[in-house]
Structure 1
Amino acid sequence: MTLKTSIVVELSDREAAFVTNLAHGVLPTAAAIQAGYAGPTARALLHKAHIEGLIRHAYANLGRTIARIEKENAEATAEAEAA
């Protein structure tokens, strides 16, 4: 399965399910189990270079998105207070 962001990473179906579960806020052990792995496998999955890189990339994008939303909210609040 190919998971596309601004980078392209080839993941197995179970790896993609693991990463998707993490993105939905599932804790790593539960994410691994839901993806069909044994619970203790979660730590090993998190340290696979391609999975770790994808997770880091996703969290960096999330951080930028949160910063943008906070800025837009601050601007909207300032405009509302000025009106």
Structure 2
Amino acid sequence: MVNEQYTPTEKDEQILEALKGGRDRGDPWGRANPRWLMDETGLSKSNVEFCLRSLRDAGWIHRPSRGLYELVEDPREENPN
């Protein structure tokens, strides 16, 4: 269940934008591992892990398998597709 009351931090926003990247171009999007997110955002490993944990706890992303994270939904968007 997505926590619509969660307010993402500036670093959370960087993670969300990286996960959403590509969808307007028709490229694969919505799934990533922490290493790719570190490279894409310039955030440290600990910052990426903290953001992923916060976003997962809020229900905005989930972890379908070890080391892989997937965007569930950004409740601030009316029509994400």
TM-score calculated relative to the size of structure 2: 0.42
More helix by share: 1
Structure showing greater relative contact order (alpha-carbon pairs closer than 8 Å, 6 or more residues apart): 2
